[in-house]
Structure 1
């Protein structure tokens, strides 16, 4: 059986395990007669993933649109989106801005939050309006910029690569940090003590690729519900772990 992507719609629970995750961020047309770019993106993702062969896991794709007929409250929708973006390895921003029917105002806010995260890919077709500000910061932070939806989808999947199997709290550590020697060393040390990563949060990143960053992890002690909270800080002078068992080099 060929590999395939798993689509998770707004409001639906997140899988407990995955190897790669992709969020589709961009404006949603208010006119129900307007073709939805996310539908085209999903079709292209299925095609490209199927071409990889059955030995590779397909990515989880976060689709911030609820199932038709199953509306969410505004607060529920926002909470789901924030959690999904926090657990995404790559965030594909596709911004075919067309005024006034497709302004993408919420997309602007989300871009401002995530463009420097090391996870962003920007799709900006030539006909898009008022994307100059987005393009400026994409250049400043080495965010890949593609001029079509197909190219943006392909680049996003390329950045995911073959992924890395993660579960529970591990899902909160994006691939570009998961694979770093600093994180692997920290993870190996705590796993060697029998601890399990219950949850994690990327506090900040600087540079592209990330040269300085910090991740806070909650490590569950073996055989108990107790946990140690630690923060791994990577900077130009090296790395250090703060909290929990004290400070370690």
Structure 2
């Protein structure tokens, strides 16, 4: 048996643009959510967010960053395909970073309101908005009520996203669908270790419900639908896992 120490993967940031395939593995994943300028003469805020994440991410391993914009020189996919890509990328992200520099006459961010409503209580949201952003009181109210980090600069929002993921945790294949908020919990790790010992593979997962931990030393509560490939080669099966606060894992 080798006695050489295991080397940590160097820190890297991989950007995935709308319509592109997701990386096969990562330590952490961040989705950049917020209004996109429709005027070609107005620059997007997302390149600056990516630059801030590149500077601050120390790894180890890969930080995946999802951008719902096309790469330079490319165009958006058909709108229905774009929506599917966005929903799938958000579902697999550890943090959904909202940056909403709202100006009602130029950058209203109406779709961002809908996405905020879907993710503010997920345990994965970070809300960023400059002080002059318009009509943000409702979003800020629920951010405070649900313990969502709030930042007033883009760099600060990027920092809050990386504080949320910490050093991340390596996940590949179907494991990428389990966000860090669930992946790190003791009930999930205990369940998953048992399945891996039996030779099973996790093909996919979806968080159906999440409630943040009531105290720093407690686990969150969550409901997770998982698709498992049994070790005996039989057909994949779907089951639901419920981790209720104070009650352990209920299946």
TM-score by length of 2: 0.90
The 5 Å alignment of 1:47-58 reads 47-49=55-57, 52=58, 56-58=60-62
SS in 1 for 2:155: helix
Match of 1:218 in 2: 227
Match of 1:16 in 2: 24
Match of 1:69 in 2: 74
CA distance, structure 1, for counterparts of residue 230 and residue 12 of structure 2: 36
How big is the shift at 1:241?
A: 3.8
List gaps (5 residues or longer) in structure 2.
1-8
CA distance, structure 2, for counterparts of residue 237 and residue 24 of structure 1: 34
CA distance, structure 2, for counterparts of residue 160 and residue 21 of structure 1: 8
Match of 1:93 in 2: 98
The 5 Å alignment of 1:233-248 reads 233-242=242-251
CA distance, structure 1, for counterparts of residue 129 and residue 137 of structure 2: 10
1:183 aligned to 2:188?
Answer: yes
Match of 1:30 in 2: 38
How big is the shift at 1:225?
A: 4.7
1:109 aligned to 2:114?
Answer: yes
The 5 Å alignment of 1:125-164 reads 125-164=130-169
Cα deviation 1:167-189 (Å, max 9, x = unaligned): 11110100011010010111011
TM-score by length of 1: 0.91
- Output the aligned Cα RMSD: 1.6
CA distance, structure 1, for counterparts of residue 178 and residue 102 of structure 2: 31
CA distance, structure 2, for counterparts of residue 236 and residue 179 of structure 1: 15
Cα deviation 1:174-205 (Å, max 9, x = unaligned): 00110100101110111121111011111111
Number of residue pairs the alignment of both structures matches? 238
List gaps (5 residues or longer) in structure 1.
243-249
SS in 1 for 2:131: coil
How big is the shift at 1:33?
A: 1.2
